[in-house]
Structure 1
Amino acid sequence: MEVKDANSALLSNYEETLKYISKTPCRHQSPEIVREFLTAMKNHKLTKAEKLQLLNHSTAMTAAEIRQLVEESEERMAEEQIEALLHTVTSILPAGPEAEPKTNTSDDVTMDEEDPA
């Protein structure tokens, strides 16, 4: 067996990074979205590391996830501030197709439905 191009299967760091990012929620981000996000984050009292964490997480978030990503959030932020931050994050960062709400099928039954019989 003859090897024609020994380096053809090697990847640069750039290519490996793109491959990794393509499997994460941030694949839906663009430079414009990042710029808009960082501009909006100026209204929130967060550290640079916390802003980066929120940007890197970039999925459909909940208030509980915000509390986990923001250090000492209970002491530093009121509930209204957490809700405002959550609104900012979810309105700017694209959630991606995996965050689309699932529709109920006819087989789904909720606890508060009444029996028609």
Structure 2
Amino acid sequence: MEIISSNSAQLSNYEVMKHLQKLKDGRKKDKRQGQLATITYETLRYLENTPCNQQTPESIVACLKALEPFNLNKSEKLMLINSPPTTALEIQLMIEESEERLTEEQVKQVLDIIIEHFPHVQKQDDNEEVEES
């Protein structure tokens, strides 16, 4: 496969899902079949069971604006949007050197921002998660 036009933009799961839904809807008129239809179907089926199914463009933009004071890079913001964290541990895994860059209070603020903009995500206590394991 040859890359004709490279693009360095990163897409969120929400954007990919919406694009594939448009492709799927347009394909019904064309009646084309094949591997692309299978890939589109399987990817949509997966994405519809992730948090991106409940997101809106407005909630994503508002969340990104609320996260600006934390000086996160694009990849970290994308991970927070694609897989909204529910615990401080998840934030540590998503944000590089989070222990040095964020205080405990800031970690709680990030979690609160995620819950505020994506209410379908339920915040968990780190202690409860450890007890369940």
Question: What TM-score bracket applies, with the shorter chain setting the length?
Answer: 0.5 to 0.7
Corresponding residue number in structure 2 for 1:62: 87
Partner secondary structure for residue 33 of structure 2? coil
Q: CA deviation at 1:12?
A: 6.8
Q: Report what 2:104 is aligned to.
A: 79
Partner AA of 1:54 in structure 2: L
List 4+ stretches of structure 1 deviating above 3 A. 12-17
Corresponding residue for residue 26 of structure 1: 52
Q: Give the Cα–Cα distance (whole angstroms) in 1 for the partners of residues 95 and 35 of structure 2.
A: 41
Quick check: 1:29–1:94 contact (8 Å CA) kept in 2? Answer: no
RMSD, matched Cα: 2.9
Query: So what's the TM-score if we normalise by structure 2?
Result: 0.58
**Aligned counterpart in structure 2 of residue 90 of structure 1, from 115, 118, 129:** 115
With a CA cutoff of 8 Å and minimum separation of 6, indicate the structure with the bigger relative contact order: 1
Question: Could you tell me how far 1:55 is from its partner in structure 2?
Answer: 0.4
Q: Work out which of the two has the higher radius of gyration on C-alpha atoms and give 1 or 2.
A: 1
TM-score (ref. length: structure 1):
0.65
What is the distance in 2 between the residues matched to 1:77 and 1:8? 48
- Aligned-partner residue type, residue 57 of structure 1: S
Number of equivalences: 94
**Structure 2 unaligned blocks of 5 or more:** 1-30, 125-133
Choose between structure 1 and 2: higher helix proportion.
Answer: 2
